[in-house]
Structure 1
């Protein structure tokens, strides 16, 4: 009975809070994926980078690329389109990899200098810790992992992704 109640409690997590506002122009550009609780398409990524560019219609052209299995592995590239949810302060998006399905994309943390961000989901199933630089100092990394844990994630599932020039 206790296990059933524990599982029920996991399903009733409060909504994921997002940052109050995002300056979309500042958010655009390259983000290095430092660590994640990855999706199925993110198998064994090396040098994973997410690039954002705002289209004239307000959608976000996204390029997610990485080398699979090693720094010299096959290049994998995906091009989802982001749509900003109205009245969300630009902090809530929907990402569409395949029509008609859209995935939740919540900017749950963004440093004031736009150098680190955490992208989360209400289900607490996936999370991405990203930086403008390919490496974070250990103190910054641990502070961001603590934020992710405070959001309700099992941080033992976080995978750190390797980067090199």
Structure 2
């Protein structure tokens, strides 16, 4: 029968430390938000121009996200779209936004199911509050939105270049069909 080594606990600790260090080194680089968001100006309807869709949004048409400040300081959100086609069934979701960083108002938690708050970062916003991009630190999802149902292609390409520069795989970004 083999004898147990006295060094086994030290080997186990070293192995655990190596795993932790590997996990830290593979962490995504930080994602900067815009410097400041005037929440009252940001409220209202935003057409989803393009995104890396979540499973819920796959095939969405005429997608619109609407924000409204509540008296409690949260953000009542209504997300609507037609599933699969312009004539598809209307889908509506009501997540709640929570401003996490009150200095910039650009970092939110978005809660679809209690108690989980998803990372929601306003990473691009034109000075006139007409076009925005919402990202996540993991760079797994992104939403390009505008106050109108379309934006000029040059502006769209500028946003794609920006998203590429900050680490998004822009080949995963899909245009959302809009017809109003």
Aligned to 1:16: 31
Please report the TM-score for the alignment, with normalisation by the length of structure 2: 0.85
Structure 1 residue ranges without an equivalent (≥5): 1-7
Supply the distance in 2 between the matched residues of 1:10 and 1:143 (Cα, whole angstroms): 30
1:141 aligns with 156
Q: 1:80 to 1:137 in 2, by over 3 A?
A: same
Equivalences for 1:2-13 in 2 at 5 Å?
11-13=26-28
Q: Gapped runs of 5+ residues in structure 2?
A: 1-22
Q: Secondary structure at the match of 1:33?
A: strand
State the Cα distance separating 1:34 from its structure 2 match. Answer: 0.4
Give the drift of 1:12.
2.7
1:84 to 99, 114, 117: 99
Matched, 1:154 2:159: no
Indicate how the Cα distance of structure 1 residues 100 and 9 shifts in structure 2: closer, same or farther if over 3 A, else same. Answer: closer
Q: How many residues align?
A: 159
Structure 2 residue matching 1:25: 3-state secondary structure: helix
Per the normalisation by structure 1, the TM-score is 0.92
State the alpha-carbon separation in 1 of the partners of residues 66 and 136 from structure 2.
19
- Of 12, 31, 34, 2:46 maps to 31
Q: What is the match of residue 5 of structure 1? A: none
Deviation at 1:10, TM superposition (A): 8.9
Matches of 2:146 and 2:43, distance apart in 1: 12
Residue 96 of structure 1: SS of its match in structure 2?
strand
The equivalent of 1:75 in structure 2 is 90
What's the C-alpha RMSD, in Å, of the aligned pairs? 1.6
The 1:10–1:126 alpha-carbon spacing in structure 2 relative to 1, beyond 3 Å, is: farther
Per-residue CA deviations over 1:11-56 (Å, capped at 9, x if unaligned) read: 4321110011100000000000000011111020000000000000
1:107 aligns with 2:118: no
Bigger radius of gyration:
2
